[in-house]
Structure 1
Amino acid sequence: MSAAYFRRTGERTYRATEQTGGAWDTATQHVAPALGLLVHAVEQDRDARRSDGLRVARTSFDILGTMPVAEVEVTVRVLRPGRTIELVEATLAHGGRPAVVLRAWLLEPRATAGIAGTDLAPLPPPAAMEPWDPTTVWPGGFIASVEVRRAAVAPGRGAFWVRTPVALVDGEAASPVARAAGLWDISNGMVARADPTTVVFPNVDLTAHVTREPVLADGWVGFDTTQTYGADGLGLTSSVLHDAAGPLGTSAQVLTVRPSVG
């Protein structure tokens, strides 16, 4: 198996490896690594243009379609330039067809340690949770590439930690927020409200807000997650995101809930 989810093949192109194989369809990519790749591209573009280190504060991904485990192209453009605030868009495409679009707000860091705080409750550490093998529920190279520890889980509700030894891009250092973003999408399948062999519930987006740079001690990203299905085919997976320092932010994924036929 590859030591990375993507290998760079050009200035804007990357080849997905078998480690990106999807859970709903193993012939297509799991979108999680692609989200991390887009954040990585936004930060690389930022660093090529400026040296003040604006922080990624919000990432809003729209998932426009599936992607084969093949070469993809990433383009980045600044929608709203600014001295202290920027809105940046990154698009991941295959064969000229956009598959994922990211809009990210980048904000100037400031010294607010003296007033920092939250009422969000911290998760128990990974060592306090039991190992769980997600391949007992989900197929695919991405799911096989991660390590999961979960607390007691009820359908649609639970807490867990995830990490991966696989690099985002071969030979390239990715920031903590890019590495964390490459795991956020896994939350939809970790506390499933229904058996995925009888109900499919893919997400069409993912929006995450973070309040600081993640602290990825030993690579762990934590989730306190709730999954909700409505009565007319819509759903929501929402999480409080955690790292070694405590609550980090939130994420939400809109679902299309479809009972399987046959």
Structure 2
Amino acid sequence: MAYFRRLDARHFTPTELVGGAWNVTEQHVAPAIGLLAHAIEVDAKARRPDPLQLGRLSYDILGTIPLDTVEIDVTVIRPGRTIELVEARLSHGGRPAILLRAWLAQAYDSSAIAGGGFDPVPGPETMAPWDGTGEWPGGFIASIDARRQPIAPGRAIGWIRTPHALIEDEAVSPLARAMGLVDTANGLAPLVSTADAAFPNLDLTAHIFRAPVGEWLGCDVTVSFGADGIGLTHSILHDRDGAIGTVSQWLTIRPR
């Protein structure tokens, strides 16, 4: 089973695997985040013979999404030969639910100077399986295979993969597939139990400097809460070859 079934060029129906963690009758936004990344890549390939590569993906989560058919529209905000800014909008019943603005850039051969200062993380084989359903209900969390190494409240390293396709009978890029998992980071290293507070994210912004390779997505997660109801989940993203980028999620904290 896949997370979505395509109905036509713009419409997608979620399966039971998309059930949310905060409310099982709503969609978990993780698969929709991957779906929007895929929509931008499909649009780029349809528009130009030399599609640009995604580098920055900034999502605004405007509201909850029922487990029902959604539609996606893609608009080029800033066209260009080597740089583009593209917006993808996911809506339900005419109401926008998630907005993605993505910067795309032309590829250049920078292999001679490639590198970075991010610390490596232990691989998934070094960690115990993590059954997130003990804290998080819903079809999406139950669908993933995860490993986790807790460090402290609000700090953990985790690895996530899924045996399920993002879209039924449709190939997606490794980046779109990874983007369909990254929202899980907010639940990998909770600072407090969900019995004590709700802390959903209102956005998700990823900066990617290398396309991921393989099925595992690693997240080196740090969660911080302020004293006035605002928090941040920040993660360094990895594949087995090393860091690939970062993702930040801005949280609204609501004590129970």
Q: Same fold (TM over 0.5)?
A: yes
Report the number of matched residues: 256
Match of 2:210 in 1: 212
Q: Hey, what does 1:156 align to over in structure 2?
A: 154
Q: Deviations over 1:177-206 (max 9, x none)?
A: 100000010000111001102200000000
Equivalent in the alignment of 1:179: 177
CA distance in structure 2 between the aligned counterparts of 1:250 and 1:72, rounded to whole angstroms: 28
Is 1:239 matched with 2:235?
A: yes
Tell me the distance in 1 between the aligned counterparts of 2:220 and 2:211.
19
Contact 1:86 1:106 in 2 (8 A): yes
Letter in 2 for 1:185: D
SS class of match (1:39): helix
Q: In the alignment, what sits opposite 1:44?
A: 42
Which one is further off, 47-56 or 170-179? 47-56
SS at match of 1:153: strand
The answer as to whether partners of 2:150 and 2:189 remain within 8 angstroms in 1 is: no
Q: State the secondary structure of the residue aligned to 2:180.
A: helix
**2:192 matches 1:194:** yes
The whole-number CA distance in structure 2 between the counterparts of 1:44 and 1:241 is 24
Aligned alpha-carbon RMSD (Å):
0.7
Per-residue deviation, 1:154 = 1.8
TM-score when normalising by structure 1: 0.97
Structure 2 unpaired stretches of 5+: none
Superposed CA deviations along residues 110-153 of structure 1, whole A, max 9, x for unmatched, are: 10000000110111111111111111111000000001111133
Structure 2 Cα separation of the partners of residues 52 and 215 of structure 1:
21
Quote the Cα distance in structure 2 between the aligned partners of 1:115 and 1:86.
Answer: 24
Tell me by how many angstroms 1:53 deviates.
Answer: 2.9
Structure 1, unaligned stretches of length 5 or more?
none
Match of 1:125 in 2: 123
Runs of 4+ in 1 over 4 A off after TM superposition: none
Contact 1:55-1:213 within 8 A present in 2 as well: no
TM-score scaled by structure 2?
0.99
Judge conservation of contact 2:58–2:102 (CA < 8 Å) in 1.
Answer: yes
| Equivalent-residue separation in structure 2 for 1:120 and 1:17 (angstroms) | 37
